Structure 1
């Protein structure tokens, strides 16, 4: 609850603070890592730091949280923070780290805004920060308790039972607990963090969706090797896993987290994905098949070519097992190689999707923006559309009060990468893009 004294101060200063947030967060991260370099060892994503995506997501989360408080000062916008809390739990973020962030963030605010930060302004924004931090700490404590995870020791060793090459750039790793204990509970659509030792001796952590059914002792992750594109560096963790992980080796994993999960209802279901965004969708299909679901399901996927479509055979097999399931595939190239596939970019016109369906999206942000626009135009309510972002979430469109109109053009290529993992204190409305 934002106090009556702070609300008008936040309302008056939010435009100025928002305009300076990119500079503030850039200075914040630069100073914090210079003085606390150990935080780059496993907790923060170096790829997202280099690209600037992490600071943009942090700025967006602060602005969105402040806007939500102003819209309803009597409540805490916990739903807005759910994705962040799940991400933090998957990284082992602890309560004391919020004090570290506070120290460097408010130092950066003072340095950037100077004399504009009066005692009254500092007090009001301090209140916003601790309201946000307190809500996250409470949610994360609940998540740790439910997962039976000690945040000081969130990691567990898993043995690689099998490595399977799905496409030239995608590999699946079938895993079992190295201690032969039971695997942690999980829900279809969740992800795990993988903590990898890099050649320079530091650790980097990325999140990968569980891509198989969750009823037995084995878990599967499916990893796309992220290439260097348009000057962006290649994905260092995805390349490291592809280079070094073989059957018989081990991986260090977190417990499963993530709030974009399959609900067990009879509502019609539409699963829309592009590229490696298919991974949580395949897990959902496996769950439906394993439970004998008769739920109506439409699987809609776009990719560059059939040869690049990871888990394509699994998708076909699972759809065939479900009595009320159908699949539609779009390929930019070589569509004739896949029976019934369509050529070009995804177009939902004419698919006759049920307006009462629960819709799950996963893919690159331009793809999801375009698809969401098509779904809304087709009459699917926004509340029924859920999405998973691989990387820092720079799309705030689904939050109440922040519906930035996405570009509806279908000229944006439906491609995505699935090496994932933002650092903590970053994602404002969602979860994990090209971070590798």
Structure 2
């Protein structure tokens, strides 16, 4: 909880700080990575740095946390914190790095706000930062302990046992740990980070959903990100071009807070494009359990040839007595899915994954159909730019 004095200052200054956050975070990353380039090696996604998505996500999370402290002073924004903490754990973020971030972030605040960054203003926002950092480090410590590791040893070598082409731009890699190495538990819907060395020697890490498993083996599915509005995805391209059976990849412990829940209530699994991967994992678990739950699977894609795990999904749905599948092709792959003719089961819990425009559109339709916001859970691939909408 913010002190009374700091709360008043934050409330008075949040409009100007919020308007300046994009400039603040841009300078923050520029100065920090300029002074500490080693942080870019395996920790920060330089593709998201180049596109600006990383700084916008950071700005959004700071603004959302500060707003939550003011609007609900007796509550902690657990959903926001959990999402960030899981991502941090998948990358091996350590407690000491929060002090590094603080140094450069507040240097950027002072530079951007100039005379407006009075000692009173800086002190109040400093309190916001450390409340957020303290909550995150406590949550991350619990996640590391549950995974049996710490930030500096989160990475383990896994061998590529099998490579399978799903579509022209999608490949599945089945991984197995080294002999005798433990296999961490995971929940369907979670992801792992994969860290690779790029041709210029810099390590980069990206998150991929666990889309399947077999004994000690785990499967990830990687979509090649082609150049468009943003540059081509360097890690996905490298994995597509070079990863093959026998290779070793460095893989983190599973993470992610959007995971299949228990119970017997209905499920609505909604995805577009590569957003199908966590849904495939959930269907595998339901099939293992021989579940009789009502399950409605909805998927949008550019076409059948681009639909990863298409036959596998159909087979899994066919094995579940209470499951049905509907697909949208063509415009659906660009984010359009008309739910007007879909009967959403009463009391359904919704899992949503795909491009942000797609998820915003589907979520709005679900809310209009009477689905409570608290029952709609979503997974974002990449920086979460949806803080204010969820």
Fold match by TM threshold 0.5: yes
Distance 1:75 1:298 in 2: 34
Residue 377, structure 1, aligned to residue 344, structure 2: no
Q: Say which SS state the counterpart of residue 74 (structure 2) adopts.
A: coil
- Distance in structure 2 (CA, Å) of the matches to 1:382 and 1:76: 18
Q: CA deviation at 1:251?
A: 1.0
Matches within 5 A, 1:21-100: 21-100=21-100
Structure 2 CA distance for aligned equivalents of residues 381 and 398 of structure 1: 14
Equivalent residues in 2 for 1:195-234, closer than 5 Å: 195-213=195-213, 216-230=215-229, 232-234=230-232
Taking only aligned residues, the RMSD between alpha carbons, in angstroms, comes to 1.6
Q: How many residues align?
A: 390
State the distance in 2 between where 1:371 and 1:90 align.
Answer: 28
Aligned counterparts, 1:280-429, within 5 A: 280-332=278-330, 345-399=336-390
Conserved in 2, the CA contact under 8 Å of 1:331 and 1:343?
no
Distance 2:389 2:60 in 1: 13
Q: Deviations over 1:217-265 (max 9, x none)?
A: 11000000000013x1100000000111101111110010000000011
Q: Structure 1: which 5+ residue stretches go unaligned?
A: 336-341, 400-436
What does 1:236-255 correspond to in 2, within 5 Å?
A: 236-255=234-253
Contact conserved, 1:2 with 1:73, CA < 8 A, in 2? yes
Please list, as runs of the form range in 1=range in 2, the aligned pairs for 1:141-156 lying within 5 A after superposition: 141-156=141-156
Question: How far apart, in 2, do the equivalents of 1:388 and 1:111 lie?
Answer: 35
Tell me, yes or no, if the aligned pair for 2:335 and 2:355 is still in contact at 8 Å: no
| Structure 2 CA distance for partners of 1:344 and 1:375, relative to 1, 3 Å | closer
Secondary structure in 2 aligned to 1:11? helix
Which of the pair is proportionally richer in helix?
Answer: 2
Displacement over 3 Å in runs of 4+: 342-345
Unmatched runs of 5 consecutive residues or more in structure 2: none
Identify if the C-alpha distance between structure 1 residues 313 and 187 changes in structure 2 by more than 3 Å, giving closer, same or farther: same
1:416 corresponds to which residue?
A: none
Q: Rate the CA distance shift 1:27–1:397 in 2: closer, same or farther, 3 A.
A: closer
Asked if the contact 1:161–1:175 (Cα under 8 Å) also holds between the matched residues in 2, the reply is yes
> 1:398: Cα distance to partner?
4.9
Cα 1:343–1:58 change in 2 (3 A) is closer
8 Å CA contact 2:60–2:388 kept in 1: the answer is: no
Displacement, 1:345?
3.8
Q: CA deviation at 1:358?
A: 0.4
Q: Secondary structure in 2 aligned to 1:359?
A: strand
Helix, strand or coil: the match of 2:161? strand
> TM-score w.r.t. structure 2 length?
0.98
Q: Secondary structure at the match of 1:387?
A: strand
Q: Relative to structure 2, which stretch is displaced further, 256-265 or 174-183?
A: 174-183
Alignment of 1:122-133 (within 5 A): 122-133=122-133
Q: Give distance in 2, aligned partners of 1:162 and 1:394.
A: 34
**2: CA distance, partners of 1:255 / 1:63:** 29
C-alpha displacement of 1:23: 0.5
Structure 2 vs 1, CA of residues 315 and 6 (structure 1 numbering), >3 Å: closer, same or farther?
same
CA contact (8 A) 2:89 2:144 kept: yes
- Offset at residue 118 of structure 1 (A): 1.0
CA shift at 1:5, angstroms? Answer: 1.3
Structure 1-normalised TM-score?
0.87
SS in 1 for 2:297: strand
What's the secondary structure of 1:100's corresponding residue? Answer: helix
Q: Deviations over 1:3-51 (max 9, x none)?
A: 1111100000000100111110000100001100000000000000000
Preserved CA contact (<8 Å) 1:7 1:73 = no
- Aligned 8 A contact 2:266 2:346 in 1: no
Deviations 1:377-418, CA, capped at 9 Å, x for gaps: 11111111000010111112454xxxxxxxxxxxxxxxxxxx
